[in-house]
Amino acid sequence: MSGQARSRRRPPPSDDEQGRERNDGGECQSASHGSHSPARKKRKRSKSDDEQTDDLLDNLRSELQKSEEERRNSSTRMEKAHKTIEQLQQELNATKSEKEDALRRLSALMSTKLRDNNPNIADLSDQFRPTKLAEMFSELYDNEWTDVFDVFNNDFSERQSITILLDIVMDVYEFCKDEMERTWKEVSTWFLNESLPNSQQLAKSLKDSRKTLVQGMTKDMTQKFIERLNSWGGKPKLHELLSSEKAIEYIKQCVKLCLLMCANDPPVVIVRPAEINRDGEEQNDKKTQQDEDIFVNEDTRKQETTCSMRAPFNKDHFKEYTKRGPYMEYVVWPVMYLHQGGPMLGKGVAQGTSEAVARGEEEQWTWKSKHV
C-alpha cells in the first residue's frame, strides 16, 4: 500500500496553491536579491577607501617633494650665507690687519719722532742702552783696567801708569767719535733726503742699525787704533807694554764700549775734568797737548816750576781712589754722562789730597821712570 501511495500521482496544484507558490518564489527571489546588496556596497566602499588612500599618498608624496625642494633651497641659501659670512669675515680680517698695520706704522713713526736724538726715551729692549753702558764702563775699570795697571806699574810709577791708561781710553773715545761722525756724514750725504716725509724715520732706522753693527767692528777698529799708537813712535819699553796681551784686551774693551757710546742717539760722553783751577775757576779739560806728547822724551820737555790751585774734590762726580781730601790731585777714571751737557750716568775716580796748591812739574804728565 505504501508503494501504491508512492506511485500515486500528485494532483495538480490549485490556483490558490499556485498563487502561494508564486508569492513564495517572489519572496525567495527578493530574499536572494536582498542578500547580495551589502556585498556590492562593501565593494564600493573598498574602492572608495583605496582611492582615498591613493589620494592621500599622492598628497604625501607631493608634500614630501615640496619639503625636499624646500630643503634643497634652504641648503643652497645656507651655503650662500656661509660663503657670504666667510667673505665678510675675510674682509673684516683684512680691514683689521690694515688697521693694525697702520697703527704699527703710526706708532713706529711717533716712536721715531720721540726717540730720535731724545735721551729721555730709553729703549728697555736695548741691551746696550746708556744705563747698561755705564755698568759695562764701570766693569771695565774694575777688571781690565786693574789687570793692565799691574803690567804698567812694574815699569812706570803709579801716576804715570794711571795717566797712560786714562789717555788711552780718552783717545779711543775721540777716535771712535771721529770715525762715527765721518761715516754718518757720508751716509747722510748720499742716502738721506731731508725733504722726504719719511727721512726722519729712515735716519732713525739707520742709526739703530748702526748701533747693532758696530759690535762686529770692534776687532778692525781695535787694530786700526793700535796701528795709530805704533805710528807715534816713542820709547820701546812703552810699545812693548802696549803690545802685551792685557794691554790689547784693555784697548779692545775700550774700543767696543766707545763705539757703542758714540753710536747711541745722542752719543753718550765721557769727560776728564781738569785737576787745576786757573784763576780760581774750574776749567774743562780741552786736552791741548797732541797725542804724540805721550811718547816724547823727557829730555825735550821743559820743566815748569809754577804753582797752580787745585780744583775742589767733587764727591757728586768722583769716587776716591786711594786717598781722600778736599782737593783733587789727579783724575784716574773719567765721568760718564748721558749726553753732552746731560745728567751723569757714572761717577769717575780721582785721587784726593789735602794740598790746595800743585807744583807745576807734577802736572807735566811726563811718565818718567827709572826703568825705561
pLDDT value at 235 more than 60? yes
Q: Which residue has the cell 592621500?
A: 56
Kindly tell me if the per-residue pLDDT of 327 is higher than 70: yes
Highest mean pLDDT among 246-260, 273-287, 346-360: 246-260
Place of cell 776728564: 272
Q: What angle do CA 314, 142, 224 make, to 5 degrees?
A: 100
Closest CA to 62 of 54, 74, 72: 54
262: nearest Cα among 140, 141, 179: 179
pLDDT number for residue 233: 60
Looking at residues 72-76, what average pLDDT do you find? Answer: 85
For the stretch 135-181, pLDDT in tens is 999 999 999 999 999 999 888 889 989 999 999 999 999 999 999 99
Contact 328, 299 (CB under 8 A): no
* Higher pLDDT, residue 43 or 353: 353
Summarize pLDDT for 96-144 with one digit per residue, the tens.
888 888 777 666 655 555 555 555 566 666 788 899 999 999 999 999 9
Buried b (16+ CB within 10 A) or exposed e, 177-216: bebbeeebeeeeeeeeeeeeeeebbebbeebbebbeebee
Alpha helices in the chain (DSSP H): 2-7, 15-115, 130-140, 146-152, 158-191, 199-213, 218-231, 236-242, 245-263
Q: Are strands 318-320 and 327-333 parallel, antiparallel or unpaired?
A: unpaired
